[in-house]
Amino acid sequence: MPSTEAPVAKPAFRFPSAFTILFGLIVLVAALTWIIPAGQYERVPSAILGKDVPVAGSYKPTDADPQGLFDVILAPIAGFYDPVDNVARAIDVSLFVLIIGGFIGVVTATGAIDAGIARAMVRLKGRENWMIPILMALFAAGGTTYGMAEETLAFYVLLIPVMIAAKYDALTAVAVILLGAGVGVLGSTINAFSTVIASDAAGVTFADGLGLRLLILSVSWVVTVAFVMRYAARVRADPTTSLVYDKKDANEARFLSATPGEAAAFTGLHKVVLTLFALTFGVMIWGVSIGGWWMAEMSGLFLAAAIVIGIVARLGEGKLVESFVNGARDLLGVALIIGLARGIVVVMDAGHITDTILNAAETGVSGLPPTAFILVIYWIEVGLSFFVPSTSGLAVLSMPILAPVADFAGVKRELVVTAFATASGMVNLITPTSAVVMGGLAIAHVPYERWLRFVWPLLAVLTLVVMAAIALATMLGGTRI
């Protein structure tokens, strides 16, 4: 007799979390240290860069130091403490994220954010789509001038509720911030942490090749804005087309605390709080771009602002502390992801395989004709960027080696700088080794594989734009005769 029991449904495949992906990459890189020969370039101090730089042609094999199980376990811990380009540590960025969470928690407790969003939606009714190009222009300006990256983490908790209230989704907010600033870094013009350092390391001025980078920035920004606006319009017209539609209810409950449809009163106190809120971000931008601030100063700013806002809103000591702690707790996962991402680079450096990979790139481009050379350089930088997500770190590592090789290929060094900047910027839109990517996605509760599914068509178009630009520039005068 046939069974009447219903067949047991097989569980659907669930993509691993960001934590699993990053830890898996640490294991993979540790395994590579057992396979890839260890080696190292000689390094000399650079007065211009203030760092030690590798010397082209000086690569030599060195004693292997394969990374074992104990090293893998310690890598995320070391990832928090190891300095990134002698400027900041992952723990500094993680602490900044936690304090940002506390700051937002205090502001949210005043009710000003909900009331402000409700007022903004009334004012923008019918023109919500204009937020996208305006905000993306501002973020791109930050990216192309001073390499806006970690600073963007502060804006997610502000913009996600606005986008959700405007009938878009959390993924739209991520795209506006991450792609906006990212396309600016991709088309870095005067970015001190990308083109300026790379140009110095390559022995040219950052003004060399500026016109080409401006062209790449302009075209890439237009393409990216059109891509994001098209997706946003589709989601607004039919919410079921959202790539995070299954998280719609949870995100609305998480990011919109007001009752749906309830118009929060916008009081004078709310105006004062939001003025202080906006002023805090303005001071942060000033401090980073002009005042020489970094993570410690920014963390102190948001801590002080949280206290001031709590006092102005008369929250009381108990509610102020509780709101701050709860807000920081909401971003604890993000803070942990940042250290885990840095652990990948820690393992690779400890295994002495970073320079070996770079040496393979140096020897691989020798003898290529000019156009083929510049395109191969671009893809080499793409590959290196996955392992070294820091633009300044990659510039110091690769430019002293690859720029001199351009002389033998008859290619101007500024084109190598542009290939580096665009490749690094492109990869930093998706690489799981970047705390900016994984942190932003974690704040928005957007799974990593959904982000990849969303962004890959744009990456394909941007890659064609960049390759066409650098190849054409090489053929039209980017070569040394």
306 touches 103 (CB < 8 A): yes
Q: Which residues does 224 contact at the CB level (< 8 Å), separation at least 6?
A: 136, 179, 180, 183, 458, 462
DSSP state, 37?
P
Mean pLDDT within 441-466? 95
Q: Rounded to whole angstroms, how far apart are CA atoms 385 and 380?
A: 9
DSSP state, 205?
-
pLDDT exceeds 80 at position 285 = no
pLDDT exceeds 60 at position 262 = no
CA 120 to chain centroid: 28
Digit-coded pLDDT (tens) for 224-234: 999 999 999 99
Percentage of residues in the chain having pLDDT higher than 70:
89
Q: Which residues does 411 contact at the CB level (< 8 Å), separation at least 6?
A: 370, 373, 374, 474, 478, 479, 480
Q: Would you state the pLDDT for residue 9?
A: 45
3-state DSSP assignment of residue 307: helix
106 touches 330 (CB < 8 A): no
Q: Rounded to whole angstroms, how far apart are CA atoms 82 and 62?
A: 22
pLDDT exceeds 60 at position 2 = no
pLDDT exceeds 60 at position 76 = yes
Mean pLDDT within 14-41? 84
Buried b (16+ CB within 10 A) or exposed e, 206-223: bebbbebbeebbebbbeb
Backbone angles phi, psi at 44, to 5 degrees: -125, 150
Digit-coded pLDDT (tens) for 362-408: 788 877 899 999 999 999 999 888 877 778 778 877 888 888 888 87
Q: Which residues does 365 contact at the CB level (< 8 Å), separation at least 6?
A: 373, 376, 377, 380, 402, 405, 409
Q: Which residues does 162 contact at the CB level (< 8 Å), separation at least 6?
A: 117, 120, 131, 173
Q: Which range (58-67, 184-193, 313-322, 422-431) has the least confidence?
A: 184-193
Mean pLDDT within 198-216? 87
Q: Rounded to whole angstroms, how far apart are CA atoms 321 and 102?
A: 9
Nearest CA to 30 among 386, 380, 352?
352
Q: Would you state the pLDDT for residue 51?
A: 67
Digit-coded pLDDT (tens) for 88-133: 577 887 888 789 889 888 988 888 876 776 676 667 777 778 889 9
Q: Rounded to whole angstroms, how far apart are CA atoms 84 and 150?
A: 13
| H or E element at residue 124 | helix 112-124
DSSP 209-241: THHHHHHHHHHHHHHHHHHHHHHHHHHHH-GGG
pTM of the model: 0.73
Nearest CA to 192 among 53, 48, 79?
48
The Cα angle at residue 300 between residues 299 and 305, in degrees rounded to 5: 100
Its sign, for the CA torsion 307, 313, 319, 324, is negative
Q: Rounded to whole angstroms, how far apart are CA atoms 150 and 434?
A: 10
